[in-house]
Amino acid sequence: MSSVTFFITQTYTKNNRSTSIRRPDYCIPAPTPPQSVTFQRTIKPALVVGQLFGLNPVLGITENEASKLRFTIFSFRFLYTSVSLIGQSVFVFFCFLKLFKDTDASLGSNTSIIFYTSNCLTTVVFLRIATQWPNLCREISSAETTDPNMDTNLMKKCNRSCVIVLILALLEHTLADLKGIATAVDCEPHRPLYEGFIIHSFPWMFSIIPYNTALGFFPMLFINLQCTFNWNFVDLFIICMSLYLVSRLEQVNKRIVAVKGRYLPPSFWRTMREDYNRAAHLVKVVDDIIGSVIFISFASNLFFICLQLLHTLADGIKPVPRCRVGVPDKRPLRGYEQAVYFVYSFLFLVARSVAVSLTASRVHTASREPAYALYEVSSETYCIEIQRFLDQIHGDTVSLSGLQFFNVKRGLALTIAATIVTYELVLMQFTGFTPTSPSPTITAPL
């Protein structure tokens, strides 16, 4: 921290001569300007978590400089992603094989296909993003050199989002394992606990091939855990990217609001418009790269919300009937494991989907905010630069999108809610569920 030193001057008279001496009196520390927050430092925790589960295999993500990022196929991270992709593809293959083998296709088998197919596509999409990620970070770093980001709370918001989402995802996976263990304890007492748990957790695999301990260990502790967290990481990634883009736009908005009511020359408004252009350009560049991730996130969340809601309406909150009658019940929650899991998973999924929708929609909201301040400019200050600024705000849509099929705006949440109601009625007719009919059997992947 720099400091400012104050001096005092003392004058001495000797032999009719005056001598002045300056000596330091005291010093006070000068305020340190806030350090700029870079995109590389902001997104680093989320990228580290993603690479733990085989996503975005880029080298140099722990560095603070974008120039050190690079993508190469000759690296352990790319090999790890490739092995993960092969394992997920095997899961998808067995799900389709089980579907073609069964004569009566159920909603449960289709659910497994959609779950593992969406995760396999997610890995492929992030592999494509990894090839473009170094160039994206360098372009963002170049924009930060011209206009540094001073939002000191941005890193805290991203880190807090990572911790909350990952802890809740871990709890969801724990409840799913507890549900599988309860089923194995009650229905497979003659088998070892681990074997019964694996067979009931992956029926679409071990109904086709015989059980093998090594093969059961691989999907349980690697591929299935990976798919569960990748499903949650997609939403976390979108939240962190949206927070950064909102921070860039709000920085321009704060400068405009700070000079509200003051007379300023056209050169100032030209500078503000150029700053807004840089932020809007970053939104478009990011949207071109992560648009497929947004599409997968919204599509999968919509499907599983409908599925979980249908399961709740059909089965309700009640214990699962026992496989063996007349023996002591050794299940941890006496049959309520599945109900607890489905209720928690449904609430967590809804909360996560709402968080993604609202956070991503703030990008579009922040891009519209300068117009309200520009409308209040006095007639003496109004100039051609303000008119061009307003035309750009209203003439261009600055927002994230799902492969340009839809723009993520604030009204999208209500549209999704209406879509859920519509497709819920379709699923009820598809499964034959009515309030007066017996509840159908609906299962979901672990």
Most confident by average pLDDT, 93-102, 106-115, 241-250, 329-338: 241-250
Please list the alpha-helical segments (H only) found in 259-403.
266-315, 337-375, 384-395
- pTM attached to this predicted model: 0.85
Identify the pLDDT of residue 63.
84
pLDDT per position as a tens digit, 145-202: 888 887 888 889 999 999 999 999 999 888 888 888 888 777 777 777 777 788 777 7
Q: Look over the chain and give the mean of its residue pLDDT values, rounded to a whole number.
A: 80
pLDDT per position as a tens digit, 197-228: 887 777 777 777 777 777 767 666 688 888 88
Integer Cα distance of 64 and 417 in angstroms: 40
Q: Which of these, 127, 43, 114, lies nearest to 85 by C-alpha position?
A: 127
Burial (CB < 10 A; 0-12, 13-18, 19+), residue 178, is middle
Q: What's the pLDDT band for 329 if we cut at 50, 70, 90?
A: low
Q: Which of these, 398, 412, 403, 391, lies nearest to 365 by C-alpha position?
A: 398
Q: What's the pLDDT band for 360 if we cut at 50, 70, 90?
A: very high
Identify the pLDDT of residue 440.
39
Q: What's the pLDDT band for 114 if we cut at 50, 70, 90?
A: confident
Q: Is the pLDDT of residue 436 over 50?
A: no
pLDDT per position as a tens digit, 275-300: 999 999 999 999 999 999 999 999 99
Both tokens assigned to 50: 């993603």
Q: Is the pLDDT of residue 107 over 70?
A: no
Q: Is the pLDDT of residue 19 over 60?
A: no
Q: What's the pLDDT band for 264 if we cut at 50, 70, 90?
A: confident
Identify the pLDDT of residue 5.
46
Spans of all domains in the chain: 3-431
